[in-house]
Every structure is written in structure tokens, then in C-alpha cells.
A and B are shown apart, each in its own frame.
Chain A
Amino acid sequence: MATLEIRDLHVSVNVPSGETQEILRGVDLTVKQGETHAIMGPNGSGKSTLAYSIAGHPKYTVTSGEVLLDGEDVLAMKVDERARAGLFLAMQYPVEVPGVSVSNFLRTAATAIRGEAPKLRLWVKEMKEAMAELHMDPTFAERNVNEGFSGGEKKRHEILQLELLKPKIAILDETDSGLDVDALRVVSQGVNRVREAGTTGTLLITHYTRILRYIQPDYVHVFVGGRIVEEGGPELADRLEAEGYERYVAGAGPAVAAEAVVGESPAP
């Protein structure tokens, strides 16, 4: 069974002043295939940093700790090697790639992840079906990756990739942000289809509890000041809904103040 283990992870980022700022301050988390974990925290708590660090974004420097996927050292892998090992990050702000069509991009990614090019005829069918389930118009495949996409289209495109690439571990970074109720339902259904297959462990990063009405987590972790400060079951999310993060933020100390300088940048 695929397992992602994060142990005492510390991550820094260079800030414009030239100094380095520690954002993650000892994160411990284990996600197993078939499980769904929600990471909830206020803005600037380092949630996205956790997501991008696991995926390997060059902006972030891991200063100590480890990330293991089935015992393999993820931190020693290049970004593309991590993806091929079974990690997937659905981004909050997916990047435009002008000139590259969605269909070309998806097929290239599927070829890389699966280790061989999917047979064209089967692939077209697979892609069309996945797009239809996400209520995406077939012409979408001919558009350039994320170019001119609405917020909802970007998120659907991310979940489309999730469904086609079938990762062992999926990290969904603020997938609910910027979605109206209808789009949120469609996107959540996509995530639930992947969960129901039972072969993917899901790490759902969110500020709000809204998406948790559609995607029921097994575990909820409260993330403040660069670390997990409380863990529990789905009932913890209900409490956060009622009480907010104030209780945790007040006790988080200087970590929060320091991080406010860096912020949770829109596009790392």
C-alpha cells in the first residue's frame, strides 16, 4: 500500500531582502493510499508551501527532515521523477503554457507517467469520457494549456489530470478557491471518483470547510505557523467552521508574524 511519510520537515524560502525565511517548522504527517486528509489553516500558515515542497518547486529549500514515498527518498528526486513516482499536485494557480494544446499536454503527461504512449484511439476515448464527466466541452482539448481559462476551467483541468494520471498520492492545493457552487460540486465529484477507486491517498489543502461538505475527510489537521497544531476526525472541521482559527493563531507566536512578510504568494 502506497504511503507518503513526511517527517520533521523544515522548509525555507528566499525573501526579496535576500534573507531566508523558515516557513515550515517541523511537519509530521503520514498519508496512506485510500485515505483522505484535510489540511486546514489560515492564510500564510504555510499550507501551500507544504504542497509545493513535496512536489519539488525550486523556490523552496528543504533544510531538514524527510519525505518518503513507499520508503523512497522523494527529496532526492527531480520534479518530474516525483510525478512519475506517483505524486500529483493540483495547483491553486495553474500555469499558462502558450502554444501547447491541452490534448498534447495531457497525452505527453500520460505517456511520461505510464511509461508508454497510450494507444491513440483508446486515449481519445478515455480523455473524452473524463472531460464529459467534468462537464468540459470537447473543444477544450484544443485550447492552449490554462491560457485564457476561467478560474473554474483551470480547476477542472487540474482534476481532469488527476483522473487521467491516477497518482498514488494527490495533493489538492486550495482546489475549492474561486469556484462557484456548481463548479465545486463537479470538481468534488471528480475527486471522489478518484478516492472511490481506493488507490489514491488524498491530501486536501483548504482554508474553508466548504469543500469538505462534498469531500468527506478521514482526518483533519490544523496547520498554523508552519506546523500541524491539532489533529482529529471530521468533527474537527466542524469546530473550525464554528470557531475559526483564532484560537490557534493566538498561540502560534512569532512564526506567524515572520511568515506574514513572505505571505502565501499567489504563484510560487
Chain B
Amino acid sequence: MAEQNSPGGVTAGSIAVHERGVPLAGPGTGRKTPDARPPAIESRDVDDFAPVAGREEDWRFTPVKAIRGLLDGTAIADGDISIAWDAPDGVTITRVGADDKRIGSAALPADRAAAVALAKSEGALLISIPADLVVDKAITVSVKGSGGTAYGHLVIDVAHGARATVVLDHAGSGTFSAGVEAVVGDSAHLTLISLQDWEDGSTHLGQHSALVGRDASFKAAHVTLGGSVVRLTPRVRYSGPGGDAELLGLYFADEGQHLEHRTLIDHQAAHCKSRVTYKGALQGKSARTVWIGDVVIGAEAIGTDTYELNRNLLLSDGARADSVPNLEILTGEVIGAGHASTTGRFDDDQLFYLQSRGIPADDARRMVVRAFFAEVIQKIGLPDLEERLLAAVDAELAGASA
């Protein structure tokens, strides 16, 4: 795989470092502000967000025409989307009303689509894991669409010292805009897996926010394989020092798919750690992926240790992967802050080399793609899921080359 920004793979990135009292950019420095975004807004109120034209930094990669109704709220919730779950012993899963205090406790909507989704969701599904409970079995929430539009909201409340794994399994067809928020209590752990295995023609938007407590850990894995337009924004914030967050992503875009993941790690507490590892494969004309990795390290967030990585593998011509890491550092006292972004190509010479050793072309391709994704799949750390994901990746390859 040639590690280069070959046609079809687009990488941009920036690191802005502002030492205390020494602004590198902005008014009076004679330099342009490195991050020209408007100040981040978080609000329940849709009107606090300007209507989306499509050229905004947050939306410029997204096919906004295709999701217009989810941005302005004109998409009527006429959908038939079933949500099923099973709760292991000790775990409570209930519906709560829109006025429940736990809604918005991890984070408020940070873009217009998320605000519309929350406003339309009429309450939330609440998963509560009581203090110090260790739940061995994964808590599965299956979301299955049968056409139409639906909004939703899920709150996962992991009380202090508890440990749990939640698997969100999205399948079927439809248009789904839903927020997920997780409050991970002090010294607690949550693994959140979100699978997007929608049928063609489906749309899925979602802000997935986590608030990570003192000495708590949070691991999220977003696996996006199906759907015509999928745009997810996993966001992490820390409510105390010593937190650890790992965001994993795996996506495979075929012809006509737009798969977008925008991660944000907001380091404002001291001595927290974060790792972002996203890998994507693209095959087919007009297959499109976007990864935007924002990391902010605030002035108080001393001792921060962060690294983000995105790798894309282009399996055919005509696909395009955008990859933009942004690192903004407001303190000089970090342990580590880095990013890597590469877009490579599985080329004819690699195929020839493997084939010349007797390996059939399809097997060679599968071998390279499986190897490419292995790192992320292993990090997810759920053996049951591992096989399913490898099989899903194989199916993607088989489908795309058919």
C-alpha cells in the first residue's frame, strides 16, 4: 500500500499549539486564526443553530441536500422503526419523558441535526447500570427500520464503579436521526459498540457523546458498513482527572455510500488519556468517506496524553476518502499529543505479488483488507463480534467486486 495522498485520498491536518500567554494566532498576532470555526455551540434549542447551507466547516463534506428534512425538522416522524433490547440482571432499561434530568447530562446537541433529533425524540430510552455492578453480558439494543423517518434518544447511565458493554445494532431501512449519550461514573467503565449495517438508501445521523468520570474509562467502536448517508459524531469530554477514552472506528464504503465520522475529544480535565483509531476501506465509484478528528487540549488539561490515527485503503479508482485531523493545544504541559493520517491504495503490484505466490485475486484482496482492519477489530476486544465483523467485511468485499 503506497502511503500517499493519491488521487481519491485527501488528507489535511493541523496542529495549533498555544502556550500560555503566547497566542500563536488570532487578533494582534498578525496571523490568521488556525481554526476558523465559529465558537462551539451546545444547546437544546434548534434556533440556536443557524440553518445549514452546506458550506459550513461542520457540514462541507456532507451531502446536506439528502438530509435537508433532518436539518430543518421538516422530516415527519412517520417511520416504522422497532427498538428491542434485553436487560441482564440488575440493569434497568426504561423509557423516560423529555423532561428527565438525565437527558442532556453528558452533552447537549452540538449541531442543528442533533438539536432537531432531540426536540423530536419525545423522551429517551434510558439504560441504568447501578453502582459497582459488573455486567458480563453485553446489553444489546437492536434498532430495526422498516422505512420512513424516526427520531430517538438513548441515555446510558453507568454509575460509579460499574462496568458494562452496550451494543447498538442498527439494521433495516429508513431515515434515523438519534442522539446517544453516556455518562460514565467515577471509576466506571463502558464499552459502547455502534453497528451501522443499514440497507441501501438508508440515512443515519447521530451525535454520540460521552462524559467520562474521574479515573473512569470509556471505549467506543463505530462500525459503519451499510447505509447511503451515515454521519456520526462521537464526542468525549471528561468530568474529572484520570479518565481514559478510546474511540475506534471501522467503515467500508461501496459505490454511492457516504460514510462520515467526526470525532471530538475535548480535554479540559488534567491527566486524561485518549486514543482515536479509525480505519476505512473504499471500493467502487463515488464511494465516499470522511473522517474529521478534532482534539482540543485546554489550558487546564495538563498531563494530557492523546493520539489519533486514521487510515484509509482505496480498493478501486473513483473513490474518495477525506481525512482531517485537527489538534489544538492550549497548554505546553502534555505527555503526548499526536496524529497520523494516511490514505493508501491496494495496487496492482501488491495484487501481482500475492497472486504470483499462488494466491487467487479474491483471496489476496481479502487477505489485505482483513489485515488492514485486524488492528481495529482486535482492539474492540469482543470475540463474538470479531468473527461477525470479519464476515461482514468479507461480505462487503464480495458484494463490491461482484
Contact = CB atoms under 8 A, between A and B. Distances in A.
Q: Do A and B bind each other?
A: yes
Interface of A: 55-58, 78-80, 82-84, 88-89, 91, 94-101, 104-105, 108-109, 112-113, 161, 165, 267-268
A55 B358 contact: no
B356 A79 contact: yes
A79 B361 CA distance: 9
B352 A112 contact: no
B189 to A, nearest CB: 29
10 contacts: A56-B356, A80-B360, A80-B361, A80-B364, A95-B353, A98-B371, A100-B371, A105-B357, A108-B363, A113-B357
Contacts of A98: 1, 3, 344, 371-372
Contact of B352 (A95, A100, A101): A95
B353 A80 contact: no
Interface in B288-320: none
A98 B344 CA distance: 10
B374 interface: yes
Nearest to A57: B352
Most buried by B among A57, A84, A97, A112: A97
Contact of B367 (A84, A104, A165): A104
Nearest to A267: B349
Nearest to B346: A97
Contact of A99 (B352, B355, B363, B368): B368
A83 B358 contact: yes
Given A96-B1, A98-B1, A112-B363, A165 B353 contact: no
B350 interface: yes
Nearest to A114: B358
Given A96-B1, A99-B372, A108 B360 contact: no
Given A99-B368, A100-B367, A58 B358 contact: no
Contact of B355 (A78, A104, A105, A268): A78
Contacts of B384: none
B98 interface: no
Contacts of B375: 99
Contact of A58 (B348, B350, B359): B348
A82 B372 CA distance: 27
Contacts of B25: none
B24 interface: no
A165 B374 contact: no
Given A58-B348, A88-B356, 18 more contacts: A55-B356, A78-B355, A78-B360, A79-B352, A79-B356, A80-B356, A80-B358, A89-B356, A97-B1, A99-B372, A101-B371, A105-B357, A108-B367, A109-B357, A109-B358, A112-B357, A113-B357, A268-B349
A132 B39 CA distance: 61
Pick the 10 closest A-B CB pairs, nearest first. Answer: A99-B371, A112-B358, A109-B357, A83-B358, A79-B355, A95-B353, A80-B355, A113-B358, A100-B371, A98-B1
A59 to B, nearest CB: 8
Contacts of B344: 98
Given A95-B349, A95-B350, A100 B368 contact: yes
A85 B354 CA distance: 15
A78 B357 contact: no
Interface of B: 1, 3, 344, 348-350, 352-361, 363-364, 367-368, 371-372, 374-375
Contacts, number: 86
Contacts of A80: 355-361, 364
B350 A97 contact: yes
A83 B361 contact: no
Contacts of A99: 1, 368, 371-372, 374-375
Contacts of B372: 98-99
A84 B356 contact: no
Contact of A83 (B1, B348, B357, B374): B357
A200 to B, nearest CB: 15
Contacts of B355: 56, 78-80, 83
Nearest to B369: A99
Given A57-B352, A94-B353, A95-B350, A112 B371 contact: no
B359 A108 contact: yes
A104 B371 CA distance: 10
A98 B364 CA distance: 12
A39 to B, nearest CB: 19
A56 B348 CA distance: 12
A57 B353 CA distance: 9
A101 B359 CA distance: 15
Contacts of A161: 357
Given A58-B352, A83-B355, A83-B356, A78 B367 contact: no
Most buried by A among B353, B354, B356, B360: B356
Contacts of B356: 55-56, 79-80, 82-83, 88-89, 91
B350 to A, nearest CB: 5
A156 to B, nearest CB: 16
A112 B359 contact: yes
Contact of B359 (A94, A96, A109, A267): A109
B30 to A, nearest CB: 42
A97 B361 contact: no
Contacts of B3: 98
Nearest to B372: A99
Nearest to A91: B353
A96 B348 CA distance: 12
